[in-house]
Amino acid sequence: MEWSHSAHVAAHRCQLQFVFGHVMAAHNARDPERREAYVLKQLQQLPAWRGSIIHRVLSTDFLAALLHGRSVDAATLAARGHDLARRQFAFSAERRYRDADLSKGEAGEDYCALVEHERGRGVTTAQLTGVLDEITRAFDHLVSQTAFLAELRRGRGHTSEPRLSFRLDGTTIVARPDLVFVRSDGAPVVIDWKIGASDTSDYSRQLLTYALAVARSGRWSGTAAKDVRLYEANLLKNEIREHPVTAERLDEAEEFIYRSVVDMRHLLGEGKFDDLDLSEFEVAGRPTTCAYCNFAELCVRRLADAGRTREVLVIQGRLL
């Protein structure tokens, strides 16, 4: 079993949603429902899609500019994002993500699966224009953060989305920070790009997990977790926030991971899909979770087969 922060969030949101997305979903499975779970896992709402495009440009064109010492131009980054958005939109509108002979890897950057296309709702011109405008605004904000960009340029060893792992209580802990580099004074820095307008979300635990992963992965030898610098860069709100790293906060983060691992083991056992009885897992307690869940139709079929009629009605919004 592997633990990640995203898996923890999914498991606490809804046990069945977690199982569908993190255990059941498999591209090459012979079981058609496992293949269906894989396709449904790829579906994105428009805000998440916008964020994924911005992340893609940051991990490619922006990273290349840092590595080669080139200037960062907002218009160039936005144009790249717009081109990618249009190609992905066309891919999704044609529902090519449902082509069983085309893998996500083969589709490359064009791969996209939007909830609106899957459910036949479509996307208006105004909605698409809004996505493109927010892509432009995100890169305008990035370039306006001159002191922040200067610190990035002075660094070395910039790596985008590295897969970092370490062991805790016999479980592999996995983290994928958006950007890691080493400052001129030798301190590793983690940048977590956020593309949202929420004022209530707290990502401290996620970033502290990144600090533990940087220190324990072995890629930055001699690094202590307390020496890692953590930045949350919200490109829509144009805010750069540094998260404090202290021994107490790191201990709390490690205890959080440990408790989550114990809960996940209790939930999954050995984590093999064939050993799981889906009728034993709970459905989210909040109807809004079901309303935005990619797996709602698959979940309804499974619950109906298990005779859990009341939960089917909740998911369908017919019983609150």
Instruction: Give the model's pLDDT for residue 320.
Output: 41
Same domain (yes/no): 109, 167 = no
The rounded distance, in Å, linking the Cα atoms of 248 and 254 is: 10
Question: For residue 169, is it left (φ>0), alpha (ψ between -120 and 50) or beta?
Answer: left
- pLDDT band of 315, cuts 50, 70, 90: low
Q: Based on the fold, state whether residues 264 and 281 are members of the same structural domain.
A: no
**Domain for residue 251, yes or no?**
yes
**pLDDT mean across residues, the chain:** 91
Predicted pLDDT at 316: 56
Residue 30 CA to residue 52 CA, distance in Å, equals 29
Q: Output the domain CATH number for residue 192.
A: 3.40.1350
Q: How many domains does the chain have?
A: 3
Three-state DSSP class for residue 204: helix
Between 122 and 44, the higher pLDDT residue: 44
β-strand partners of 174: 165
Clarify whether residues 67 and 125 are in a common domain: yes
Tell me, yes or no, whether 90 lies in a domain.
yes
State which residues form the domain around 298.
Answer: 277-315
Q: Is residue 245 part of a domain?
A: yes
Percent of the chain residues past pLDDT 70, beyond the cut: 94
- Residues 129 and 184 placed together within one structural domain of the fold: no
Q: Which helix (H) or strand (E) holds 2?
A: strand 2-3
Please give the C-alpha separations between residue 178 and each of 40, 60, 162, 231, in angstroms, as whole numbers. 24, 11, 8, 11
Six-digit token pair at 64? 């290349």
Is 267 or 189 the better-scoring residue by pLDDT?
A: 189
- Give the E-state strand segments of 133-255 in sequence order: 156-160, 164-168, 171-175, 179-182, 188-194, 229-234, 239-243
Which pLDDT does position 319 carry in this prediction? 45
The 10s digit of each residue's pLDDT in 270-311 is: 667 777 887 788 877 676 787 788 988 888 777 777 777 777
Q: What is the pLDDT of residues 35-91, one digit of tens each?
A: 999 999 999 999 999 999 999 999 999 999 999 999 999 999 999 999 999 999 999
Same domain, 122 and 171: no
Residue 15 resides in a domain: no
The reply to whether 257 and 203 lie within a common domain is yes
Q: Does any domain span residue 320?
A: no
- For residues 179 and 220, state if they share a domain: yes
